[in-house]
Amino acid sequence: MDERVARRLLDREIERLRVLSYHELVAMIDHPTHEDVLGSDDRTWLLEVNVHWDDKPGGDVHVFVMVDDGGRGFWHPRSDDFIKAPNGELVGE
């Protein structure tokens, strides 16, 4: 797995999701997405996004992003995450 490509794909998706409102993220709970994306290495990568309540419904939401190239990385996908509070602030940032 090309770590640089994986990191760029993760960073791009995390930044896209961070600007979404709390309510937009809540709407994504229990609706994971799986998308094939083309990396800068001209390979197809699988990008997965999962959103769930961090502790309890109506509280913070936890956004988790994973990426793998379908090779050996399948067993150890690269990932990143963040938590957004109901007031729209990122927790721990």
What residue type is 52 in one-letter code? Answer: H
How many structural domains are present in the chain? 1
Side by side, the strands of the sheet bearing 61-68 are 33-38, 44-53, 61-68, 78-84
Pairing of strands 33-38, 61-68: unpaired
* 47 occurs within a structural domain: yes
Flag whether 92 is in a domain: no
Judge whether 91 lies within some domain.
no
pLDDT of amino acid 73: 53
Question: Quick check: is 25 in a domain?
Answer: yes
In a domain, 51, yes or no: yes
Full pLDDT tens readout for the chain, 93 residues: 788 999 999 999 999 999 999 999 999 999 999 999 999 999 999 999 999 999 999 999 999 999 998 776 555 789 999 999 999 999 987
Position 72 in a domain: yes
Task: Print the domain residue range for 18.
Answer: 3-84
pTM of the model: 0.90
Per the domain annotation, does 89 fall within a domain?
no
Amino acid (1-letter code) at residue 88: G
